[in-house]
Copies of this chain bind each other. A is one copy, B any other.
Amino acid sequence: MQPKFIFSNIIGTFVFSEQFTIFDKILFRNIEEYKNKGKAEVILKNKYKNLKDPEKKELMRMLSVFNSKEFFPDFHRKSIELTKERIKLSVKDDLLVIQAIDSIEENNKVVNLLTRRLREWYSHYNPEFSRYVSDNEKFIELLMGKKDKKTEESMGADLSRENMEPIIDLIKQIDSQYKLRGRQEQYLEKLMKKNCPNLTAVAGVTIGAKLIEHANSLKHLAELPASVIQLLGAEKALFRHMKTGAKSPKYGILHEHPLISQAKKSEHGKTARALADKIAIAARIDYFKGKFIGDQLRKELEIKLKK
């Protein structure tokens, strides 16, 4: 029996004979040694000359050896260990960006739901004031500051202190929900500026985060062509266009961008296209940890659109 093949897996580095039996081996004690498997291979290659890497067909025969009682438990344990470590390391900042932007959007839903209820409840007491302030956040702010004077002619009922308490309780809850959203927005801004400064400079915090969320990761966003980025978030309209021949959408998430909302209606398409171009560049620079040229990208974009 001659040593012929060399092969490493998570358990160790093995030298196989021509008959596919194990001729020699160096076992790894932990994942660290597996990561430095090159060392073991060098040792064995020096010990036995002319070792070959196995071809696919040869490899298949060698692998069956590990399906034995001797190796399998170790193999199983170490695989899981390795998987766990990889999962651990897979939590990158863009996952946190996605959590934060999703949470902010849900917070918006929550404050709207709670404020709608509050308005109905509160209007038994002071309907005129509720109708007077239509902005929800402003409404809560004024209530918190006790600036909701009831007029003499109010149609509202005189609620007892006992019946006012739950209303005030709800006001406070909504106020704290607004404050939470504020803190989450600050956190998201920090995260975005740190991880994707270029994207943030060109697209803005919220739109940038939504793009990452739609693309599932910064990596995937960086791989997308500008034309896809332009339409991210407009999938429904796009499929409608493809199926029924309705007008094709000009933009998805990007429609909230100030450059688009400030542009003339006839320039919307052109603006969205130029914006998506720069966003694609910015996302790639950020993914590959390039330098910050966000301000420059933004300026180029503004000049281009002025023409």
State the A residues within 8 Å of B (CB). 81, 84, 87-91, 95-96, 99-100, 102-103, 106, 109-110, 113-114, 117, 120-121, 124, 153-159, 162-163, 165-166, 169-170, 173, 176-177, 180, 183-184, 187, 190
How many copies are assembled?
Answer: 2
A165 contacts which chain B residues (CB < 8 A)?
187
A155-B87, A166-B187, A176-B173 known; A124 vs B110 contact (CB < 8 Å): no
A96-B163, A114-B110 known; A103 vs B88 contact (CB < 8 Å): no
Alpha-carbon separation in the docked complex, A301 to B239 (Å):
59
A158 contacts which chain B residues (CB < 8 A)?
88
Alpha-carbon separation in the docked complex, A220 to B81 (Å):
65
Least Cβ distance of A167 to chain B in Å?
8
**Other 17 A-B pairs with CB < 8 A, given A99-B121, A106-B113:** A84-B155, A88-B158, A89-B157, A91-B156, A91-B157, A95-B124, A96-B124, A103-B121, A103-B170, A106-B114, A110-B113, A110-B114, A165-B187, A166-B183, A173-B176, A173-B177, A173-B180
State whether B155 touches A184 (Cβ < 8 A): no
A100 contacts which chain B residues (CB < 8 A)?
166
State whether A170 touches B180 (Cβ < 8 A): yes
Least Cβ distance of A256 to chain B in Å?
22
A176-B173, A183-B169, A184-B166 known; A109 vs B117 contact (CB < 8 Å): no
A-B contact pairs, 6 of them (CB 8 A): A88-B155, A96-B163, A99-B121, A106-B113, A169-B184, A170-B180
A95 contacts which chain B residues (CB < 8 A)?
124
Considering only CB atoms, which chain B residue lies closest to A181 in the complex? B173
Task: Indicate which residue in B87, B156, B169, B184 contacts A88 across the interface (CB closer than 8 Å).
Answer: B156
Alpha-carbon separation in the docked complex, A124 to B89 (Å):
10
State whether A157 touches B88 (Cβ < 8 A): yes
A88-B158, A153-B84, A180-B173 known; A117 vs B103 contact (CB < 8 Å): yes
State whether B157 touches A124 (Cβ < 8 A): no
Least Cβ distance of A88 to chain B in Å?
5
A187 contacts which chain B residues (CB < 8 A)?
165-166
Considering only CB atoms, which chain B residue lies closest to A156 in the complex? B88
A155 contacts which chain B residues (CB < 8 A)?
84, 87-88
Considering only CB atoms, which chain B residue lies closest to A122 in the complex? B99
